[in-house]
Amino acid sequence: MRREWKTLLVPDANVTLSTEPLRRSEAEWKKSLTPAQFDVLREDGTEPAFSSPLDREKRPGVYVCAGCSLPLFTSRMKFDSGTGWPSFITHIPDHVGTKKDFKLILPRTEYHCIRCGGHQGHVFDDGPPPTNQRWCNNGVALRFIPAKSG
């Protein structure tokens, strides 16, 4: 599942495969992102539960960072957590970074796109087997690219 993710990419998909760090000024980010994307990706915001159509997305394909187009997840990694946010059991190797978040009373593990540093969501240990993880993502921080049909 983690190794064969490229099989879901359509030819000439608008993605980047480079994990080389992408640096932009705040003004550049504000120009390239919607206000909701900027809030989540650059200011660690959270979109309202059940607001993203990606939570209900069922087609095969790849989920890429809305800030820089680096693939982060595939449809094979997705599951319906019932939380109102797109959730995944794992991620594409070496495409996300984690750190502890102490904004609430209990610490959480936050994760970001490894290329642009954009905040994606939090990972929890209450997901289904085989990983028992729930990578809970803000839909506004992602862009979905459907797999080729047929």
List the catalytic residues: 136
Residue with tokens 């980047």: 16
C-alpha 33/C-alpha 131 separation (Å) is 32
Pairing of strands 108-113, 96-101: antiparallel
Burial environment of residue 3 by CB neighbours within 10 A (0 to 12, 13 to 18, 19 or more): exposed
